[in-house]
Amino acid sequence: MNFFEHQAAARKASIRLVLLFVLAVIGIVCAVDVAVLIALSANDETTPGHAAVLLVVASLVTIAIIGLGSLYRVASLRGGGETVAQQMGGEPVPEQTRDPQLRRLRNVVEEIAIASGVPMPKLYVLEHEAGINAFAAGYAPSDAVIAVTRGALDRLNRDELQGVIAHEFSHILNGDMRLNIRLIGVLFGILMLGLIGRKILEHGRFGGRDKGAGAVMVAALVAMAVGYIGLFFGRMIKAGVSRSREMLADASAVQFTRQTAGLAGALKKIGGVGEGAKLERAGDAEEVSHMLFGDGVGLSGMFATHPPLLDRIQALEPGFRRDQLESLHRRWLSQPPNGLDEDARLGLSDGKTAHLPGVDAEFNVSPPMVVAQVAHPTTDDYRRADVIVSTIPEPLRALVANREDVVPLVLALLLDGNTTVQGKQHAEIAARLGRETAVFAQAMRSEQLGALHPMQRLPLAALAFPVLRLRPSPELNVVLDTVHAVVNTDGRVSVFEYCLGTLLQHQLRESLDPSRHAPFGRDKVAAVKREAAILLALVAQAGHDNPHDALRAYLAGLQRVLPREHIDYAPPPEGVLALEAVWPALNRLNPAAKQSMVEAVTAAISHDGRISVNEAELLRTLCGVLHCPLPPMLERG
């Protein structure tokens, strides 16, 4: 399946989750009604009418408790991935850490983020967990968090850590995260009656022979019994939703890294070391068990959220046998593996085997090729991302990791080359963020960013993303207003400046309130004909100086997405600023319609079969705004 098919599958899984939740609620309500009927049967004075009223009341109260419990838990997770990581006891990884294990983690995640075409996620470590595990959490890539245990950092070598992180990135790219975080809220509601019963028994004081106290005690016991029914349904739902997606994530990770040894090695170490993947000191591990890389709670059989460990290993290495896993277990019990030592012994380091193309380079592409690459990075993309990161000058790497310097750096990326326009932009920055920030941004633009390769601009912004997210919401809103003002200073905005500014606006505003931004639209292309025509006209115009060539490019794109429509080629006079009204409509498209739009934009931008570096970066940005992440280079080596 490609990215768009994965998104459609995730949407179907969400619908399936709702249906399973409804069935679980019906089962719990029926159990409560049976308990009420048993209690009423012991009372000969109860009339049929009275019994019916009590059953209705009991059913409504049960539904209300489950619904309110789910709504409460979902609301508590409104902050997205960071909320989940913090509730699990995670600690943020510093941007400028000196810990070699954390530095290695950050390097691996940076490379995979750039290779995937998504913003750099925020990193957390579960410092007190010796087991080998990890998870990705969030509503969308813009608020994604990846958390790993200290055990994973200690035990895994670089290839194995890369395999685990690639597995977690597949959850980010395939739309699993939002489903997983919703699942936490849904299951909490199902378990509410059992939790209430347990709390009553733990904290209640039932003295003497008070009849009311005895009734409360019985009600609490019934609630706990019903809670076990909820626990049964909850575990069944998690197993049904999670198991197949874990195998899919394994396969995606291997396709990304193009080597099975890393991921297989991580799974072998889970089976071989004494701690396994168990989470001992995190929050409620069972609540997030469906999100974990390895089974963190020890469930098995029909309740298992993950396929059996040996099955996962054999899917990667068919010849691997159980006795080999037992042999590794015996060896590692006496001498646990050390990831950094293995790196040194095996010579595992960043492999810089690719080079950035020239600024004037062109690539052969086709719409199906681009669609296949969306959210579908391979080892070539990983190597190129490694080169992009390694060739960004170290002073810029230091600036992008510094909370005080990152805002002027991002603004410097948006400054115009024309000195007159730049002067106006300087005034906009100074008015909102102070003269010092404006001067610093201008100095960066002239001294450090002038020689930056076009392919490094978006990755540099992606690396800045988690540091920008650290700012309080009011301060971040001022930054976003400044970005908008800088981009729109005189109404004559270059395509790159507009797109980078828009990408920052979209991703950062989503990160402020991630739960509000639904990733799965429902509209078809026919519902957004006007918006699609505007986008294609602007893309065709931006890539072709000759109006006749631009017209042909526009028609090539229109043929891909609306073959039966005749919409005149009419680029709006305000240029790329007209796209402001286009994005909301296009983001409401269903996955299949978004695939058609990506194919159409590709056809328009490359109707001659070739794309320049600048056009490739434009296409990446457009895909990013539409939540269809594209790797940084379009050609395959």
Residues with a catalytic annotation lie at 168
91 φ, ψ to 5°?
A: -120, 135
Give the C-alpha separation, 574 to 568, whole Å. 17
Residue appearing with tokens 């310097």: 405
Q: How many residues does the chain have?
A: 637
Residue appearing with tokens 């009372």: 43
Task: Give helix then strand counts, H and E, for the chain.
Answer: 27, 6
- Record the tokens describing residue 616, joined without a space: 């490739």
Nearest to 259 by CA among 159, 375, 358: 159
Strand partners, 362: 612
Q: Is 347 left (phi over 0), alpha (psi -120 to 50) or beta?
A: left
**Helix, strand, coil fractions of the chain, as percent rounded to 5:** 70, 5, 30
Give the C-alpha separation, 476 to 483, whole Å. 10
367 within 8 A of 621, measured Cβ to Cβ:
no
Amino acid at 510: E
Give the C-alpha separation, 401 to 397, whole Å. 6
* Pairing status of strand 145-149 against strand 134-137: antiparallel
603 within 8 A of 524, measured Cβ to Cβ:
no
Strand partners, 125: 91, 148
Give the C-alpha separation, 119 to 136, whole Å. 14
Give the C-alpha separation, 415 to 383, whole Å. 30
Residue appearing with tokens 């992440």: 629
CA distances from 290 to 305, 307, 309, 339, 525 (A): 5, 11, 15, 26, 35
- For residue 276, the tally of other CB atoms under 10 A from its CB is 21
Q: Chain-centre distance of CA 524, in angstroms?
A: 24
**Burial call 98-118: b when 16+ CB within 10 Å, e when fewer:** eeebbebbbbbbbbbbbbbbb
- For residue 393, the tally of other CB atoms under 10 A from its CB is 14
Residue appearing with tokens 């969308």: 140
User: C-alpha angle with apex 168: 455 to 294, nearest 5 degrees?
Assistant: 160
238 within 8 A of 187, measured Cβ to Cβ:
yes
